[in-house]
């Protein structure tokens, strides 16, 4: 069934979100929860459209959801590093502009193909969107590395989140390097690899409750 892996990941990620909500006592559990919910909702949208249960509007909703993943991750990095970075609002505003574009332009994102593992899209402004996406993630990773370097002691949530970033960036980077033709499938495949980020975030949120 097309979209099967998306359905599986949605069910697992939403279960992780429920567990975090009920059992976590982490001071930033709601920040972690929002990030996992965004990941899970994207998987749901992809499953619905790939299974033929909804129309192309779900594709655009899915892209709006993942557009807010980088600034949400950046804000989580800022909270973990205990920094005061009010400019994070600019990244959310950039995400909002892309979301408006996806919302009002029907051809901005079009589902081209589906299989049980991932979906293939055409999406407009792909270069600018990619720059926004990866630059925002890079800023978050930089802050985590900076915090790891300057703060020698304390909890290692910064290390865990950095590991979570690398767990999905390295595989998709290697795939893109060896097979440039997967460009149109990168959003879907990257969100599949981001399942590892969801698992690491869940561990981060729940480890203090054990």
Task: Give the domain ranges of the chain.
Answer: 4-209
Its pTM surpasses 0.85: yes
Q: Hey, what are 25's tokens?
A: 């006592």
Question: pLDDT tens digit string along 96-146?
Answer: 999 999 999 988 999 999 999 999 999 888 899 999 999 999 999 999 998
Give the pLDDT confidence score for residue 15 in this predicted structure: 97
Q: How confident is the model at residue 155 (pLDDT cuts 50, 70, 90)?
A: low
Please, what is the average pLDDT of the chain?
92
Which CATH number applies to 4-209?
1.20.1070
pLDDT at 210 over 50: no
Question: pLDDT tens digit string along 54-97?
Answer: 888 899 999 999 999 999 999 999 999 888 889 999 999 999 99
């Amino acid at each position: 069934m097309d979209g099967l892996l998306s359905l599986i990941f949605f069910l697992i990620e939403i279960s992780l979100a429920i567990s975090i909500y009920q059992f976590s006592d982490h001071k930033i559990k709601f920040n972690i929860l929002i990030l996992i919910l965004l990941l899970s909702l994207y998987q749901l949208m992809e499953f619905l459209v790939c299974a033929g249960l909804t129309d192309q509007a779900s594709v655009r909703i899915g892209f709006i959801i993942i557009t807010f993943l980088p600034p949400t991750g950046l804000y989580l990095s800022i909270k973990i590093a205990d920094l005061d970075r009010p400019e994070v609002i600019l990244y959310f505003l950039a995400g909002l502009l892309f979301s408006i574009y996806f919302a009002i332009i029907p051809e901005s994102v079009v589902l081209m193909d589906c299989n049980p593992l991932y979906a293939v899209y055409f999406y407009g402004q792909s270069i600018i969107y990619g720059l926004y996406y990866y630059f925002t993630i890079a800023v978050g990773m930089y802050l985590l590395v900076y915090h790891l370097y300057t703060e020698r002691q304390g909890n290692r949530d910064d290390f865990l989140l950095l590991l979570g970033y690398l767990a999905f960036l390295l595989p998709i980077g290697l795939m893109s390097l060896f097979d440039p033709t997967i460009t149109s499938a990168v959003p879907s495949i990257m969100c599949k690899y981001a399942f590892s980020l969801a698992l690491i975030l869940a561990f981060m949120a729940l480890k203090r409750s054990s």
